[in-house]
Structures are given as C-alpha cells and as structure tokens.
Structure 1
C-alpha cells in the first residue's frame, strides 16, 4: 500500500513556527508510524505544480525546507485565523482535511446551551451587552466577561461581588493582569464597557458567563483540561486529563504565562473528593466529552481532536467552560505524564493515516519529499 502523505497546516511567519515542539513531534511520530509527514503554511502551497514547500525537523530548533508531494490528507493545526488562511480554508477543491472548520466560542456555547445532550453542563452564557451584564451581576456573585473569539486567557475579565462592592480582575491582550475594586454596579458597567472596547480581539464580540466557584485550592482557580481524539479506527477516545491550577489571584488557569501549574487529575480529584465521588466525576467528564463530539460533528462535520476546559466546582458538579478544536498538548509534559503526551501526538497522525488509506486504496507508489533545498533555523517556541 502506498505510503500516506500527511500535511500539517500551521502558522509560519518568517522563519518561525510557533508551537514548534508539538509540530516537530508530530512529524517524528509520523515517520515512526510509516507516513511521510511535513509542516506547511498557506504561503507554501504551489497550486500550479501541485507541490508544497514543506518543512521537516532535522535538529533541535532547525528545520529543512523541501519540495514535497501534494498531501493525501491535511490536519489543520493553524491557530492564526487571519484572512489569507481563512480564504484558503474555505476552498473545498484544494485539500482533503481531517478536521472541518469550527466556529467562534460564543456561537459554540450558544449551540451547546441549546442542545439537549449538553445543556445540563453549560453555565448561563449571553452575548455581551450592558443590559446582560447588569442582569448577570445582579444574579450571580461571580461573573466572567470573555472574548467570543479569544484564546490563551487573553482579554478575560473576572467580576466578583464583595461586601463593599465589586472586585474586577482581568488579563489584557498583552498578558498583563490588572485588578481594581469598583464600588457600584453602574461603575462596573462603565468600566467593563471600556474593557470590551480596548481589549477586543480583531472585530469579535464578548460574552458574559455565569461564574463558578472553582477554588478547589483556596485562592486559586482550577479546572480540568480533557483531551479527546480520534484513534486509528476513527473512534473517539479520551486520551487524558490534567488539572490546571492558576497562579494565586489569577483570573484564569491558562499556562502560557508560566504562572500556573499542572497536577495529575486522578490523584488530585481523589484526594479532594474521595474515591467514590472522584470516579463519578471522572466518568461524567468523559460522558460530557463524548456527547460534545456528537453535537459538534452533527453540526460541523468530522474532527480530529478537541480540548475541553471542564470546571469542577467545590461541590463536585461538572461544568463545560469552553471547547477548543486546536488545543495545546504541553500540559501532559508539565504533569510528567509522558506516555499520555506521546499518545496525544500519535493519535492525530494515526487518524489521518486511516483517512489517507481510505483515499489511496492499493496504489504502491511511495511519495517522499525531494532532497531538502533550503535549510532554516526555526526557534522552538511553545504556546
């Protein structure tokens, strides 16, 4: 059978691939599995000659550029949704994709909240408006204002009701954390209106969401990151879970700023809730993940993987905070679960090979990239 050629679509700017350890590991794992795998960006597509200027790692921090054959299947791991990429991604005549396009967080949460399969896990969420904010801070002691198209915890604002008013904590687009007390509801609304204008990501809107008491460790926000992926037979399997703990007084649990930590999920949940309840929580998290993929694929088509941010409140109730079709995998390294990390790298390639073999049939030709024609230093930078 013909060796499958898998293209990994990613963002490249100059000679830098962000998240390049992850991308490098995908290529390396693909080689072990018997596939020809390379990384490319929308700028590297040579449509006339039906070739790709693809990149493969040759040493730590160094990549070789080569003329590569047209991919049998493309996995879209590009996180920069700028116009040239979106224009290419809309075309249905160019590539066979392993994962379909998804949507913005606000539209996704609206879909989930309206689904009978998921709505019991969804906190109250509305498109941001001053009126919606006022209603939410009147009803709940904790409220979040989030960008409907954000990632990495950027532009997220936490509003906590206190004895003398409110406390606002947010992470700006720059990554800087800000905090301020605000005495009255009217001032909160004015402050947040300025925030959503200043911290808007591209032209996206914001959403306002019911806050949850996730301080499983006093003074720190905690949530579970669950990774569900297709395996080599095209079936959804939960690959792993970790518990992410934010820095003290941080409004988010995101790890990209280096101020949080990652714990082994089972160990922590068992210690916090006891064995019996911990088992129920874990099973419910997995049920949520499988139901979510049913809803997503019914609406958007086939996917490769999803990362779920799952809130487990102080009473052990499970909530879906958000879902991401292009999640990071580094949390498993941070929790020292290297076998799970390796499985998380292997499964997307295995699924892409499964799709490619369906496309290829019994052709025995074996395409490989031509000898490298350029060599580029690309820094190893993880998101």
Structure 2
C-alpha cells in the first residue's frame, strides 16, 4: 500500500509516482532530472549516458540508502554516506549496490552537479502547506552537506542557511531574487499537478537543487516534510 491518510493530509510515499505526475507537464518536466526505475540495464544505460547518477529508495527519506554512482575510464565508483568504493567491472559495482539496497525498490536519477558552498553541495527545501483551503509558503531554506557527504539532509549533519544566503554564497547576489521567485513559481505549478492527481495532499516539502549553471531541478517532493 503506497498511501495513507492522516490528519495533516494524504501521504504519498512513492517517489516514482510523484515523479511521473510531474512529468505530465512540459514546463515542469524540464526541471525533473531524467529518472528510471532501478534495473541492471537501466543503471548501465544511464551511466553510459550521464557518467554520474544518484540512486535512491522509491520509498524513504532522510537520505537513508541514497548512493552516488560514477563511471570513468578506470571503472566505476559508488559513494554511500562518507565511504566510496571503486570497481573495475560493472558486475562488481552491481553486486555491491544490490548488497546495500537489499530487497528495496530503487530509482535512478541523473546526477546533478549542484552549486556548492565552500566545496560542499547545497540544495533547498521549500515547505508549502494548505491551511483553511489556501496553500501558503511556510519556509524556504538552504541545506549545505556536511563535509565529506553528498546528501544535504539536516539529520545527516547538513547545515541550514536562509535560501538567500545559500544562493548568494553558491551562485551570486544578483541571482537571489530570481531563483527564489522561480522556486515559488515551480512549487505552485507542481502542487496543482499533484493535487489533481492525488486529491487530499495538504503538506508538501520540495527539494530543489540549483546546478552550477543556475538551472533549477526538482530533486524530490515529500508529503511528510520535516
């Protein structure tokens, strides 16, 4: 069972279902990293195409189980938490990933080279909540990964900044207003898509990444935002 209803609104655990709902709108789709369900063939194809991918549980949060996988002339590498292992063969890489993921369903996302603050990746959490029938923005914060990690989750030692501080420190002061406006605009459009597809959602946490070229990506949408 993928969903449950509690007092704060409908919960939707599956990242895959939410991703597909957002892909239905072309103006939002260009902000969704290319994604596929995890299979050996899909992993091989996406590594060949993009060189670096992130794989994550279809259901789950807090950065638990998230891996970064890269392909190079020398072979493959897989980073989980602060530990990176290298492999000469795809079979060796696959065996390692399967040990880590167990029986859980995973998805593969094109790796986004996020803008950084002092060499550490930063992303943004935008919390959007429906109260008395009206959607309102509750917060927009930057999260800088703990040194040595690529996940930014605060429960994994990430550092919280205001969104303005994060954009200024990772990109430039002149981008602050435009990037915050764009994240709000994308949030409103995406929420209307999700609410139409999954009636009853009432609390959403959008994880946005801004790459080194300034393009905004929707990395994930949570229906139980912390």
**Normalized against structure 2, the TM-score is what?**
0.89
Structure 1 Cα separation of the partners of residues 219 and 63 of structure 2: 12
Could you tell me which runs of 5 or more consecutive residues in structure 1 were left unpaired when the two chains were aligned.
1-80, 172-176, 329-383
Match for residue 159 of structure 2? 261
1:150: how far off?
Answer: 1.1
Partner of 2:108: 208
1:279 aligns with 2:184: no
C-alpha displacement of 1:246: 1.1
1:120 to 30, 35, 49: 30
Judge conservation of contact 2:204–2:223 (CA < 8 Å) in 1: yes
| Distance (Å, rounded) in 1 between the aligned partners of 2:146 and 2:176 | 24
| Residue number among 44, 52, 55 corresponding to 1:134 in the alignment | 44
Residues 1-383 of structure 1: matches in 2 within 5 Å? Answer: 89=4, 97=7, 99-162=9-72, 164-171=74-81, 177-197=82-102, 200=103, 204-217=104-117, 219-232=119-132, 234-257=133-156, 259-328=157-226
- Count of aligned pairs between the two proteins: 226
CA contact (8 A) 2:112 2:211 kept: yes
User: What RMSD over aligned residues (CA atoms) do the two structures have, in Å?
Assistant: 2.3
Contact 1:219/1:249 (8 A) holds in 2: no
User: How many Å apart are 1:106 and its aligned residue?
Assistant: 1.6
Distance 2:29 2:182 in 1: 14
The offset of 1:194, in angstroms, is 3.0
Show the counterpart of 1:75. none
Whole-angstrom distance in 1 between the partners of 2:207 and 2:164? 16
Larger RCO: Structure 1 or Structure 2 (Cα < 8 Å, ≥ 6 residues apart)?
1
Deviation of 1:297 (Å): 0.6
Could you list the per-position Cα deviations for residues 54-103 of structure 1 after superposition, in whole angstroms to 9, with x for gaps in the alignment?
A: xxxxxxxxxxxxxxxxxxxxxxxxxxx99xxx7xx57xxxx9x5523424
Structure whose alpha-carbon radius of gyration is higher:
1
CA distance in 1, matches of 2:41, 2:118: 32
What are structure 2's unaligned runs of at least 5 residues? none
**What displacement does 1:269 show?**
1.0
TM-score (norm 1): 0.55
Q: Kindly indicate which of the two structures has a greater share of residues assigned to strand.
A: 2
Deviation at 1:183, TM superposition (A): 2.4
Q: Secondary structure of the equivalent of 1:302?
A: coil
